[in-house]
Chain A
Amino acid sequence: MRAALLAEYRKLVSTRLWWLLLIVMIGYLVFVSAAVSASFVFVPEGSEAVLAGKDAAQATYSLVNGIGYVFPLVIGSLAMTTEFRHKTITQSLLAEPDRTRFLAAKLLSVLPIGLVAGVLGVAATVAGGAPLLQIQGDGAYLSDGDVVTGLVLGVVVVALWAVIGVAFGSVLSNQVAAIVVILAFTQFVEPVARIALAQVDSLAGLASYLPGGAADSLIGASFLGSAGGDTDLLPRWAAALVLVGYAVVFAVIGRLTTLRRDVG
Chain B
Amino acid sequence: MSAPSLAIDGLTKQFGAVRAVDDLTFTVRPGAVTGFLGPNGAGKTTTLRMLLGLTRPSAGRALVGDREYAAHGRPGRVVGAALEASSFHPGRTGLAHLEVFAPQVGVARPRCRQVLEAVGLGHAAKQRVGRYSLGMRQRLGLATALLADPPVIVLDEPTNGLDPEGIVWIRRLLRQFADEGRTVLVSSHLLREVEASVDDVVIIAQGRLRHASPLADLRTRATPSAYVVAARPDGLVALAADRGWTTTPDGEGILVDGATAADVGAAAYGAGLELHELVRRDVDLEAVFFELTRPEDRPVEARR
Contacts and interface: CB of A to CB of B under 8 A. Distances in A.
Q: How large is the interface on A (under 10, 10 to 19, 20 to 34, 35 or more residues)?
A: 20 to 34
Given A15-B91, A87-B84, A90-B54, A3 B49 contact: no
A98 B70 CA distance: 7
Given A94-B81, A97-B75, A264 B103 contact: no
Given A4-B104, A86-B88, A91-B101, 20 more contacts: A6-B103, A7-B103, A7-B104, A10-B96, A10-B99, A11-B100, A14-B89, A14-B91, A14-B99, A88-B87, A88-B89, A90-B83, A91-B88, A93-B54, A95-B105, A96-B104, A97-B75, A262-B49, A264-B49, A264-B54
A87 B104 CA distance: 18
Nearest to A13: B96
A88 B89 CA distance: 7
Q: How large is the interface on B (under 10, 10 to 19, 20 to 34, 35 or more residues)?
A: 20 to 34
Nearest to A93: B54
Contacts of B84: 87, 90
B76 A17 contact: no
A225 to B, nearest CB: 39
Nearest to A17: B91
A16 B91 contact: yes
Interface of B: 45-46, 49, 52-56, 69-70, 75-76, 81, 83-84, 86-93, 96-97, 99-106, 144
Contacts of A200: none
Interface of A: 2-4, 6-7, 10-11, 14-17, 82, 86-88, 90-91, 93-98, 262-264
Contacts of B87: 86-88, 90-91
Nearest to B90: A86
A-B complex: 6 closest residue pairs judged by Cβ atoms: A97-B70, A87-B87, A14-B96, A3-B103, A262-B55, A95-B104
B161 to A, nearest CB: 16
Contacts of A263: 49, 54-55
A82 B89 contact: yes
Nearest to B13: A262
Contacts, number: 84
A90 B101 CA distance: 12
A13 to B, nearest CB: 9
22 contacts: A4-B104, A6-B103, A7-B102, A7-B103, A10-B103, A11-B100, A14-B91, A14-B92, A14-B97, A15-B91, A16-B91, A86-B88, A87-B84, A90-B84, A91-B101, A91-B144, A93-B54, A94-B83, A95-B75, A95-B101, A262-B54, A262-B55
A88 B75 contact: no
Nearest to A97: B70
Most buried by A among B52, B89, B102: B89
A3 B89 contact: no
Most buried by A among B54, B81, B86, B106: B54
Given A86-B88, A95-B76, A264 B70 contact: no
Given A3-B103, A3-B104, A7-B104, A94 B86 contact: no
Contacts of B45: 264
Nearest to B96: A14
Contacts of B86: 87
Nearest to A11: B100
Contacts of B93: 14
Contacts of A264: 45-46, 49, 54-55, 83
A95 B87 CA distance: 14
B150 to A, nearest CB: 11
Contacts of B55: 262-264
A34 to B, nearest CB: 33
Contacts of A82: 89
B96 to A, nearest CB: 4
Nearest to A2: B103
Nearest to A10: B100
Contacts of A17: 91
